[in-house]
Amino acid sequence: MQENVSLQPYNTFGVEAEARYFTEIHTPEELKAAINFSSSRALKTLLLGGGSNILLTGDFDGLAIRLNLKGISEQPDGANHILVTAQAGENWHEFVMYCLEKSYGGLENLALIPGNVGTCPIQNIGAYGTEIRDVFVRCNVLNLNTMETEDFDLEKCRFGYRDSIFKQEGKGQYIILSVTFRLTTQNHSIKTEYGAIRGELSNAGITEPTIHDVARAVIHIRKSKLPDPKETGNAGSFFKNPTIPLPQFEELQIRFPHIQGYPNGDAVKVPAGWLIEQCGWKGKQIGNVASHPLQALVIINATGQATGKEIFDFSTLIIDSVREKFGIELEREVNII
């Protein structure tokens, strides 16, 4: 147990914030001991995975726990599938690469997403037409009310767009210890229809892509479009793409003929990046914070000196201007601490 520890290395925004207490855990027993330490002193607890989806808006007057549970195990599941279980502290991209090396299919479109395996169910991570729920079987969690472990299956997780029970009524009540995925061992389902994947593959002269080709294409596209947190502090998309009722979308179409929208049940999903760009934010910098010049949805720690409060205030200005221009309320995707 360490005291007054800087959390700057543990968040991809690279903002400075101190934790009153800090510990790294490697086993479920160490985790239980840390939780006991925290509850016996009535401390708040902050779980840290890769720190790529949090914004620390000030010092944390509690116990920050960095989860370092490691290990991967496999179990065959019929002729065409395998169940792969990874512990929460495994790095997500390294896990995707591990599966690709073994030619297990299902995660290739999710390559290069920062963060850890244990966090992937929390917002049902997704990219390039795939979400974690497409391959999710169960996660094993520590229930903080009972201090017992239990399994959450697909139904119990109630996955939605960048959403799950862990962001809703289960928030703060469970620690995800491991996640099990059902992947294909042959007859892989290749998804190339989303984003620039097809163009990327055809540029490389690939007409019948493998899962490895798809992963390479995704990695190449992501590297060209998104800032690397090691160089420029950021947490990926700062806002969710809002879903609005069809009549509201049709009314906006009259005023803004170029507005983009994708049908989502009875409603329409509108790209938040487009809305933000239309409000003039793309590439705009205020003090130490900016909207990324290539992707307005990504807020960056432009000078490396930004505080979490500055970034939060910047995001509020964006929300205000999108509301004023379009009457749409943006919701932050990043967890505000």
Binding site for ligand FAD (CB under 6 A): 12, 46-54, 67, 88, 113-116, 118-120, 122-123, 125-127, 175-176, 226, 229, 234-236, 335
Based on the residue annotation, tell me whether 237 is a catalytic residue of this protein.
Answer: yes
Token output for 103: 């030619």
Q: Which is nearer to ligand FAD, 64 or 100 (CB)?
A: 64
Supply the DSSP symbol for 10.
G
CA distance 28 to 147: 11
Q: Residue 173 corresponds to which tokens in the numbers above?
A: 């009540």
Identified catalytic residue from 38, 52, 178, 237 = 237
Q: Name the active-site residue from 162, 182, 216, 332.
A: 162
Residue 221 or 252: which CB sits closer to ligand FAD? 221
Tokens 């800032």 found at: 227
Tell me 258's DSSP state.
T
Helix axes 211-225, 92-101, angle to 10 degrees: 150
Query: HSE of 118 in the Cβ direction (CA atoms, 13 Å)?
Result: 23
C-beta closer to ligand FAD: residue 5 or 125 = 125
Tokens coding 97: 């690469």
Q: Name the token pair of 146.
A: 């009972």
CA dihedral of 139, 140, 142, 147, whole degrees rounded to 10: 140
Closer by beta carbon to ligand FAD, 124 or else 288: 124
Query: In the bound complex, what is the minimum distance in angstroms from residue 160's beta carbon to ligand FAD?
Result: 12
Buried b (16+ CB within 10 A) or exposed e, 251-286: ebeeeeeebebeeeeebbbbbbbbbbbbbebbebee
Please say which residue, 169 or 324, places its beta carbon nearer to ligand FAD: 169
* Catalytic sites, residue numbers: 162, 237, 333
